[in-house]
Amino acid sequence: MRNTRALAVAGAAVAALGLSAPAAVAWDRPSNIVVLPSVIARGGQLTITADGCRNGGTATSTAFSPTRLSPVGGGKGNEGDRGGAGSGTARGTATVNSDARPGPYDITVTCDGGSLTKPQAFTVIGGVRGGIGGSSTTGATPTDVAIGGGLVAAAVVGGGVFWMRRRAERNI
């Protein structure tokens, strides 16, 4: 019975050590990149958050200029007693170039001597033409007018036929 308890205590100690070791290493380089929103129009702003960048860093992509990531929060945060500038998370805002081509883009974050690339982190869509209802033409085309006129004519003829039938039924 004593051997079982000793094994259980040893197993718990090994599990605790195994779970804490990756956390200690995670601060040496970026470990996660979050980009919001994931779909954005040209000229829009992205918020980039990177874990494992306690001293800040830089985010780069072909869709925007290199952007500085600043440490989030103060004090020791999640770092325990390792010291450092922030909680291990850095955040920045990037503006997508107005001439960026529509499609998916990667982001690379470099901080604390390491780098991490998130493939297809966000997607750029074509620009929005605000103020004119999303339309890119200035009015109805001749085809639109012809289709609308045909529908109105069909409605008038159909209504006339219905009215004539109802009138004929009353006379019977």
CA 35-44-119 angle, to 5 degrees, is 35
Tens digits of residue pLDDT in 15-34? 444 444 444 444 457 889 99
Report the predicted TM-score, pTM, of the whole model to 2 decimal places.
0.54
Tens digits of residue pLDDT in 74-110? 544 444 444 444 568 999 999 999 999 999 999 999 9
Beta-bridge partners for 90: 50, 71
As a three-state string, the secondary structure of 121-137 is EEEEECCCCCCCCCCCC
User: Which token pair is 23?
Assistant: 């956390």
As a whole number of angstroms, the distance between CA 51 and CA 119 comes to 16
Q: Is the pLDDT of residue 114 over 70?
A: yes
As a whole number of angstroms, the distance between CA 71 and CA 57 comes to 8
Tens digits of residue pLDDT in 39-59? 999 999 999 999 988 888 999
How many other C-beta atoms can be found within 10 angstroms of the C-beta atom of residue 141? 9
